[in-house]
Amino acid sequence: MILKLTKNTDPIWKQKFKNVKKITPEIKKLVADMMETVAITSAVGLAAPQVGIALRLFVISYGRLREAFINPKIVRRGKETNEIEEGCLSVPCIRGSVNRVNEIEIDYLDLRGRTKKATLSGYYARIAQHEYDHLSGSFYTDHILDKKKFYTYKTIKIVFFGTPQFGAIMLKSLIGQKLVGEYNIPLVVTAPDKPAGRGQEPKSSPVKDLAVQFNIPTETPTTLKSNAELVNKLKSMEPDFIVLASYGKIVPKEILEIPTRAAINIHPSLLPKYRGASPIQAALLNGDKYTGVTIMKMNEKLDEGGIFGTARLTIKKTDTAQSLSERLANLGASLTHHILHIMTIGDIKPKPQSLTGASYSKILTKEDGLIDWKKPSGNLEEMIRAYYPWPGVWTRYNGKILKLLPNKLVQLEGKEPVKLEDFKSGHSDFNLSW
């Protein structure tokens, strides 16, 4: 369960926080909920008072460390220090540079009630010190004596455009910052409901489902061009940014000019490579070793806008379009927060895309996954991973549809998936391999 965050002005910070007497199921549930809250807010740590619980307990979820620190006590602090910018879930829209020691030793109880001692260094030590301060009712801003070393900014207003799961992951990350108070999302624009399943019942997009879950108003226009009603609605909201992630339509100029700062697109490739509708599938299909995410300023052309930033990601040998899309969406979310933050406090210019090296990925159809099992494609394994879960790689065998799945599985129409070798042993004429 996602927990409500307290602000530094809330009454709880005037209390004296108590040690946890016993690791109860309620404490374990609290820790699980705190970890879920950390995840959605893109945070790295969280203290119990920040969710309204007056206990000496904090969690860290960063890199290799995912741990609950119960009744903690810092028993040693190193001598070397460094100064890094910090923020806080309980102090939104403020950033400042804080000087902290590089290494600490901390005693604590873990979630099993075991006494532990940890030596933390670098950013791990900084997170622990930041959260430890909360257990005595203080904040990182209390450590900044030079007021010139921190700055404030207004809540960032965003209208989000997106449709499939890639967009939903992006939106969830933005919603996390909305819960903190960093962002305001007055509207989500997504595709209209589409018939799905055997009964062809209307089904909403993953983005719409998420927006409804968090009570964010949605619009599902059938067209954006010459849509005066939508344009007027967007203008009345005066958004700082339009953020688009896998929406599915070209956004016209009259909408792109509405935000006061920029209309940006999170594109899952390293532009100008793989512009268009299926960049993730294209990277897998071509056996690329790496791909990435590009944050660009949108224009009326197809993925040709200037670039604000990129992040690179190595493609795993086991990646499918589904798994790679999720990894790229999470990477894109982190990069987007960084870009939005920089653009809010300063003025950065997008870098024009290279005029060379541009390539395009097409809109996929179900027929793209059809193969002749007697004369298959030379890159069948890449094709299976690239087209999973949709459009899928499939063929016709003895009058039925046979799906070729990752991990060397096949599924005959009306049957459960089985190992390829098991299927071949029962169907001697089927000699396809990959």
Catalytic, 89? Answer yes
Q: What is the pLDDT of residue 151?
A: 86
353 is catalytic: no
Catalytic position from the list 45, 176, 292, 305: 45
The confidence score (pLDDT) of residue 201 equals 84
- Over residues 81-101, the pLDDT tens digits come to 999 999 999 999 999 999 999
pTM of the predicted model as reported, rounded to 2 decimal places:
0.90
Residue 366 gets which letter from DSSP?
Answer: G
Residue in 134, 135, 234, 256 annotated catalytic: 134
CA distances from 125 to 35, 118, 120, 320 (A): 19, 10, 5, 36
* Tens digits of residue pLDDT in 161-194: 999 999 999 999 999 999 999 999 999 999 999 9
**pLDDT over threshold 80, residue 121:** yes
Q: How many CA atoms lie within 13 A of 129 on its CB side?
A: 27
pLDDT surpasses 80 at 63? yes
Annotated catalytic residue within 67, 86, 131, 382: 131
**Are 360 and 286 in contact, with CB atoms under 8 Å apart?**
no
Catalytic residue among 5, 30, 57, 88: 88
Question: Which tens digits make up the pLDDT trace of 345-388?
Answer: 888 899 999 888 899 999 999 999 999 988 888 889 999 999 99
Stretch 42-65: mean pLDDT, rounded? 96
- Determine the pLDDT at residue 81: 96
Domain ranges of the chain: 11-152, 156-361, 366-426
Same fold, 11-152 and 156-361: no
DSSP β-ladder status, 241-245 and 262-267 = parallel
Question: Helix 25-40 crosses helix 165-180 at what angle (to 10 degrees)?
Answer: 110
Mean pLDDT across 291-305: 95
pLDDT at 35: 97
Judged against a pLDDT cut of 90, whether residue 222 lies above it is answered with yes
Over range 7-21, report the average pLDDT: 96
Q: Are 320 and 291 in contact (CB under 8 A)?
A: no
Would you call 427 a catalytic residue per the annotation?
A: no
Is 11-152 a CATH 3.90.45.10 domain?
A: yes
Catalytic residue among 89, 120, 171, 420: 89
Q: Provide mean pLDDT across the span 325-347.
A: 93
The reported pLDDT for the residue numbered 147 is 74
Q: Which token pair is 159?
A: 């209208």
Query: What pLDDT does residue 146 have?
Result: 75
Mean pLDDT of 400-418: 95
Q: Give yes or no: 131 in active site.
A: yes
Quote the mean pLDDT of the chain: 95
Model pLDDT, residue 62: 94
CATH dotted code for 156-361: 3.40.50.12230
Any idea which of 139-153, 201-215, 307-321, 324-338 has the lowest mean pLDDT? 139-153
Q: DSSP assignment of 59-95, as one string?
A: EEEETTEEEEEEEEEEEEE-S-EEEEEEEETTEEEEE
pLDDT at 33: 98
Candidate list 5, 30, 50, 244, residue with the active-site label: 50
In the residue annotation, 134 being an active-site residue is answered as yes
* Domain 366-426 in this protein, CATH class: alpha beta
The question of whether 130 is a catalytic residue gets the answer yes
* CA 140/CA 416 separation, integer angstroms: 56
Catalytic residue, from 57, 67, 109, 130: name it: 130
Task: Determine whether 93 is an active site residue.
Answer: no
- Poorest-pLDDT segment among 35-44, 324-333, 346-355: 346-355
Tell me how far the alpha carbon of residue 223 is from its chain's centroid. 27
Which band of pLDDT confidence, cut at 50, 70 and 90, is reported for residue 245? very high
